[in-house]
Amino acid sequence: MLLTNPFSEIATTIPPVFMQAFVIIMILSVIISTLLDMAHKKNAKYFFINLKKSKEASKRKVSASKKTSIIVKTVASDIMTTSELGVGQRRVAHLLGMYGSIIFWITSFMMIFFYSSPSIITPNFLTILWHLGALMTCLGGYWFWFFLRVDVSAEGHSWSRIIRADLFVLSLVTASTFALIWSYFQYSGLTIISSLFLILFVLSNIVLFGGVYWSKFAHMFYKPGAALQKNLSEEDGSRDWLPEPSSKPKKFGLGIKRESARHY
C-alpha cells in the first residue's frame, strides 16, 4: 500500500488530464477565494494603514540589515516552528498538521502531474511521503479536534459541536482520512468501496479548497504578515501603540495557584 501510487491506479478509468484539471481548479479556487476574503475584510488595506502609522510612531530607525535579520528570524521562528504557541501539545499538534498537509499536497501534485500514467513508475519515496503526510495531518488534526480546542477545554462544549470556524480543520482531516482509506481499499482490490472513498476524498477537497472564503484557510496567508509587522514594530519602538514591558515581577496572588480556571 505504502509503495502504491493511487492516482496511477485509477488512470485507466479517470484520464490524468481530468485529475490535473481538478488540481488547477482547486488552486485557482484558493487564490480567488483568498482575494475575495481580503477584499471583504480589507486585510491588505488594514496592514498598509497600520504599517504607515507604525512608521510615524517609530522611536528609532531600523537598518536594512536588521530588517533582513528580523524577516529571517520571523520565518524561522514564528512561521516554520510556530513559536508563538509556546512549548506544549498545541504546538506539536499544529506542526504535525501543518507539515503533514504540506507534504501531502506537494506529493499529491507531483504524483498527479508527473506520475499519474500507469506506464510511468512512481518513486517509492514519493508514495511513502504521500501516505506519511496524510498520517501526520490526521494525527495533528484529530489531536487538536478531540483534546486541544479552546472552546472544548475551557468552555465545556462537546467535541461534536461544530461551527463555521471548524470548516477548515474538519475538511483538512477528512480529506487526509479518506485519502488513506481510499488507498487501502484500492490496494486491497475492493473496487466498489475504494470508488466510494475516492468520491468522498474529492468532495472533502472541494469543501477544503472551495470553502476558503468561509473557513480559516486564508489565515495561513495573513499570519506571516502579521507576525512580521509585530516583530518590526517591537524593534522600531512603535510596538503597535502598546506600553513597554514591565520590569517588575508578575504578582497574581495565591489564588492563581489554588485551582484551574475551569468553571463552565
Domain that holds residue 130: 6-235
Question: Total structural domains in the chain?
Answer: 1
Q: What is the pLDDT of residue 264?
A: 42
The pLDDT of residue 186 is above 80: yes
Residue 131 resides in a domain: yes
Domain assignment of residue 188, yes or no: yes
> Residue 150: inside a domain, yes or no?
yes
Length of the chain (residues): 264
Q: Is residue 1 part of a domain?
A: no
Q: Is residue 255 part of a domain?
A: no
* pLDDT tens sequence across 1-52: 888 899 998 988 899 999 999 999 999 999 998 888 777 777 667 677 776 7
Mean pLDDT in residue range 63-71: 82
Q: pLDDT, tens digit, for every residue of 132-180? A: 999 999 999 998 888 877 666 566 667 677 777 788 889 999 999 999 9
SS (HEC) of the chain: CCCCCHHHHCCCCCCHHHHHHHHHHHHHHHHHHHHHHHHHHCHHHHHHHHHHHHHHHCCCCCCHHHHHHHHHHHHHHHHCCCHHHCCCHHHHHHHHHHHHHHHHHHHHHHHHHHCCCCCCCCCHHHHHHHHHHHHHHHHHHHHHHHHHCHHHHHHCCCCCCCCHHHHHHHHHHHHHHHHHHHHHHHHHCCHHHHHHHHHHHHHHHHHHHHCHHHCCCCHHHHHHHHHHHHHHHHHHCCHHHCCCCCCCCCCCCCHHHHCCCCCC
Residue 248 lies in a domain: no
Instruction: Report if residue 252 sits inside a domain.
Output: no
210, pLDDT greater than 50: yes
C-alpha cell at 155: 468552555
Q: Is residue 260 part of a domain?
A: no
